Amino acid sequence: MQIVCPHCGQVITDGRFGRKRLNLNVNDVLDKYQACGSITQTAKKFGCSRGHIYNVIKSFPGDKEHDTAIQNNEAISG
């Protein structure tokens, strides 16, 4: 992130601001979800929040079985 110093006007670049994107692949998330059996365990494996896992899976145009299983926090069968 780049910010402008209000005192001298110099542009300061610092990597500490914000958080880097995880760029998780939907297929990797679904595979890990099948192996773990819960969203919470999947999030712990990837080192992110449950909400991030839900958003990644939500972006996947799956079928009704997957959507229902995710809502019920159940493992997805083959």
Total domains, the chain: 1
Q: Is-contact 76 39, C-beta < 8 A? A: no
| Domain, as residue range, for 49 | 23-78
Whether pLDDT at 65 is above 70: no
More confident residue, 14 or 76: 14
Q: How large a percentage of the chain has pLDDT more than 70? A: 67
Pairing of strands 11-13, 2-4: antiparallel
Which of 36, 38, 31 lies closest to 60, judged by CA? 31
Strands (E) in 1-78, as ranges, are: 2-4, 11-13
In a domain, 58, yes or no: yes
Q: How confident is the model at residue 23 (pLDDT cuts 50, 70, 90)?
A: confident
In a domain, 70, yes or no: yes
